[in-house]
């Protein structure tokens, strides 16, 4: 059986990764190609704990009251959730010939956790070691969106601000994603201008996916 392909869509909060992962999955399915959309954090037990942390429902004691878990704790939880994701969903589907499209993967950990660490360089090295057994994607698509535009989109949701959604942090994350190739050396990374309409961005993603799917690849 032909192995499925593993695609990852990344970007700051408000980049539209969830919508675009769904669009890509629908396009593959419309062509008669088996495809599965998934996401991190997952819906599994560790992913549920992460979702609670992101929405400020899981906190830990601090000197001045409760606080969010440390970046190291979050990194460990994300890595555990990722390995569970691989074992329970990604790898079995790829082996069955299903292409998997993940809304976020370990590039998110490298960007977000290093951006919240005191020593980002040391953090990246540790995060790479922590995720050393994570299967590499066939293609990672980074949706580059100006931080101000992403902030407008987040505000339009009308939901409470999540753990990593502070504007200053998102600006640092946008810079980190611009150098995604440095965070995941050796991976195939494509950057897409996410400031355009959703249809234009989805079409640009499809061009990169078609290139990756071609016999000659990239």
pLDDT 10s digits, 121-175 = 999 999 999 999 999 999 999 999 999 999 999 999 999 999 999 999 999 999 9
Per-residue pLDDT tens for 168-213?
999 999 999 999 999 999 999 999 999 999 999 999 999 999 999 9
Q: In what order do the strands lie in the sheet with 189-193?
A: 35-39, 99-103, 6-10, 139-144, 189-193
Confidence of residue 65 (pLDDT cuts 50, 70, 90): confident
Least confident of 1-5, 65-69, 142-146, 174-178: 1-5
Q: What is the pLDDT of residue 118?
A: 94
Helix (H) / strand (E) containing 203: helix 198-213
- Show the tokens assigned to 8: 């990852």
In this structure, are residues 47 and 83 in contact, taking their beta carbons and an 8 Å threshold? no
Closest CA to 80 of 40, 126, 124: 40
- Output the pTM of the full model: 0.95
Helix residue ranges, H only, 116-179: 120-130, 147-157, 167-178
Kindly provide the b/e burial profile for residues 90-106, where b requires at least 16 CB atoms within 10 angstroms of the residue's own CB: beebbeeebbbbbbbbb
Residue 216 — very low, low, confident or very high, per pLDDT cuts 50/70/90? low
Q: Which one, of 214, 209, 35, lies nearest residue 139 by Cα? A: 209
CA-based end-to-end distance of the chain: 23
Confidence class of residue 2 from pLDDT cuts 50, 70 and 90?
Answer: confident
Neighbours of 194 (CB within 10 A): 25
Q: What is the pLDDT of residue 63?
A: 84
Chain segment 20-45, per-residue pLDDT in tens: 999 999 999 999 999 999 999 999 99
| pLDDT band at residue 217 under the 50/70/90 scheme | low
Does 218 score more than 80 pLDDT? Answer: no
- Nearest residue to 188 (alpha-carbon basis) of 208, 174, 206, 204: 208
């Amino acid at each position: 059986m032909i192995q499925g392909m593993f695609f990852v869509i990344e970007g700051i909060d408000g980049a539209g990764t969830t919508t675009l992962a769904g669009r890509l999955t629908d396009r593959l399915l419309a062509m008669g190609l088996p495809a599965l959309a998934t996401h991190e954090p997952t819906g599994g037990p560790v992913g549920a704990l992460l979702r609670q942390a992101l929405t400020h429902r899981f906190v830990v004691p601090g000197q001045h009251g409760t606080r969010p878990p440390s970046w190291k704790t979050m990194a460990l939880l994300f890595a555990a959730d990722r390995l569970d994701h691989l074992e329970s969903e990604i790898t079995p589907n790829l082996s069955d010939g299903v292409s998997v499209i993940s809304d976020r993967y370990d590039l998110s950990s490298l960007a977000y956790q290093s951006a919240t660490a005191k020593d980002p360089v040391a953090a990246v090295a540790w995060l790479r070691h922590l995720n050393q057994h994570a299967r590499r994607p066939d293609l990672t698509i980074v949706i580059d969106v100006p931080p101000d535009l992403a902030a407008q989109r987040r505000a339009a949701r009308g939901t409470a601000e999540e753990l990593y959604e502070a504007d200053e942090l998102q600006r640092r994350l946008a810079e980190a994603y611009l150098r995604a190739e440095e965070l995941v050396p050796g991976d195939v990374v494509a950057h897409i201008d996410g400031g355009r309409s959703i249809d234009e961005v989805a079409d640009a993603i499809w061009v990169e996916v078609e290139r990756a799917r071609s016999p000659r690849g990239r």
